[in-house]
Amino acid sequence: MAHRAILVDVTRCVGCGACVEGCQQSNQQPAHSARGFDEQTYTYLMDRGSDVYVRRLCMHCEQPSCASVCPVGALVKTAAGPVTYDPAKCMGCRYCMMACPFGVPTYEWYSATPRVRKCQMCEHRGDKGPMCAEVCPAEATVTGEREAMIAEARRRIEADPATYHPTIYGLQEAGGTDVLYIGPREPAALGLPRVPISHPMPDLTWRALKHVPDVVMFGGVFLGGLFWLTKRKEEVARVEGKGKDEGHE
């Protein structure tokens, strides 16, 4: 598959939780009630009332900010679509957690060897794809090539405009994502994060990072001068103090 994506159709979700259970099994996590992202939860359901359930998971951005800020390449956007994580490279800086506009990555705070935790789109399953899509009984979660998922989302909306809000969430947010949502309400009403930026988030990262050399250079000169002045004052004080001591002899 060239570039995998996931389509979440909120109008078809019955809140059964099969996706959550399947995710936990696929990632060797203990069975538990998932109420939000944590070190043992990669996906969970939000009850938005009136039998509307919205599943949250990593959005797998087309150009992920989490990967752009990682100084050691522990997070990587693969050609197949998933944003994967290598704990062997991670230095625990947690910049990825601060950079994610969707608030997804979490951390193993209570572990002696903590890792960043997030959905990796069941990358370990290869061509089988995400377990959540395989176990969904209502096709509320489906997976396939990204362009095919976009076409399917548009087909469903056009076929039943009275049911669907005419928006595909993830099509433009943060430059586009590989997890897409359609549903009966606007994204904000579904509880999905407001991400007003439609261009890739790493663009903002590089705008800031390109000024780092200047900051380092001028900051180094400033600190060097400050150090010289401090040492100079100390030397003057030492000499004056020595002169006073000799004057009292």
pLDDT in tens, the chain (249 residues): 579 999 999 999 999 999 999 999 999 999 999 999 999 999 999 999 999 999 999 999 999 999 999 999 999 999 999 999 999 999 999 999 999 999 999 999 999 999 999 999 999 999 999 999 999 999 999 999 999 999 999 999 999 999 999 999 999 999 999 999 999 999 999 999 999 777 666 655 555 445 455 544 455 555 555 555 566 566 656 656 555 555 555
Strand partners, 117: 106
Decide: 145 and 4 in contact? Cβ < 8 Å.
yes
Please, are residues 4 and 143 in contact by the beta-carbon 8 Å criterion? yes
Judge contact between 99 and 88, C-beta under 8 A: no
pLDDT of residue 227: 59
Where in the chain are the domains? 4-202, 211-247
Put simply, whether the predicted model's pTM sits higher than 0.85 gets the answer no
pLDDT at site 244:
53
The pLDDT value recorded for residue 86 is 97
As a whole number of angstroms, the distance between CA 162 and CA 2 comes to 33
The pLDDT, as a whole number, for residue 247 is 55
Q: Which helix (H) or strand (E) holds 239?
A: helix 212-247
Class in CATH terms, 4-202: alpha beta
Q: Residues, the chain, total?
A: 249
- Show the CA angle centred on residue 42, arms to residues 118 and 34, nearest 5°: 145
Indicate the burial class of 63 (C-beta count within 10 angstroms; 0-12, 13-18, 19 or more).
middle
